[in-house]
Amino acid sequence: MLPTEVDGRQLPPGTISRSVQVDLRSPWAIRDVEIPTRLVLAPMAGVSVQAFRRQGRRYGAGLVCSEMVSCAGLHHGNERTLGYLRISADERPLAVQIFGSEPEVMAEAARMVEDAGADLVDVNFGCPVKKVTKTGAGATLLEDPERACGVISAVAEAVSVPVTVKMRRGIENGSRSCLELGPRLVEAGASSLTLHPRSARQMYTGEADHSLTAELAALVEVPVVASGDVTSRARAQAILATTGAAAVMVGRAAQGNPWALREILDGDAGEPTREEVVAELILFMRETVRELGERRATGFLKKFYGWYLGRGRFPRPFKAELVQLETLDEVETRLLAAAPGAAEVLQGLLDELPDAEDDVILDLPISIYGGG
Ligand SMILES: Cc1cc2nc3c(=O)[nH]c(=O)nc-3n(C[C@H](O)[C@H](O)[C@H](O)COP(=O)(O)O)c2cc1C
Residue 21's pLDDT is: 76
**165-215 tens-digit pLDDT:** 999 999 999 999 999 999 999 999 999 999 999 999 999 999 999 999 999
Q: Whose CA is nearest to atom 26 of ligand 1?
A: 251
Mean pLDDT of 1-21: 58
At residue 92, φ and ψ (nearest 5 deg) are: -80, 145
Q: Which of 7, 40, 41, 44 has most ligand 1 atoms within 8 Å of CB, for mutation?
A: 44
C-alpha 147 to ligand 1 mean position (Å): 23
C-alpha 51 to ligand 1 mean position (Å): 17
Q: How far apart are CA 68 and CA 79, in angstroms?
A: 13
Nearest to 233 by CA among 271, 264, 257, 268: 264
pLDDT tier for residue 149 given thresholds of 50, 70 and 90:
very high
Helices (H) and strands (E) in the chain, counts: 15, 14
Is 71 one of the annotated active-site residues of the chain?
Answer: no
C-alpha 150 to ligand 1 mean position (Å): 24
Q: Which residues pair with 192 in a beta bridge?
A: 164
Q: Whose CA is nearest to atom 8 of ligand 1?
A: 370
pLDDT tier for residue 35 given thresholds of 50, 70 and 90:
very high
Residue 112's pLDDT is: 87
* Residue 334 parent element (H or E): helix 328-338
Nearest to 64 by CA among 83, 87, 31, 82: 87
Q: Whose CA is nearest to atom 30 of ligand 1?
A: 44
**249-279 tens-digit pLDDT:** 999 999 999 999 999 999 977 899 999 999 9
Q: How far apart are CA 98 and CA 107, in angstroms?
A: 10
C-alpha 341 to ligand 1 mean position (Å): 34
Q: Report which ligand 1 atom has the smallest distance to the Cα of 67.
A: 8
Q: Which of 165, 196, 224 has most ligand 1 atoms within 8 Å of CB, for mutation?
A: 196
Q: Which residues contact 96 (CB under 8 A, 6 or more apart)?
A: 65, 66, 69, 85, 87, 113, 116, 118, 120, 121, 122, 364
**315-364 tens-digit pLDDT:** 999 999 999 999 999 999 999 999 999 999 999 999 988 776 667 766 66
Q: What is the pTM of this model?
A: 0.92
Residue 1's pLDDT is: 44
Residue scoring higher pLDDT (323 or 68): 323
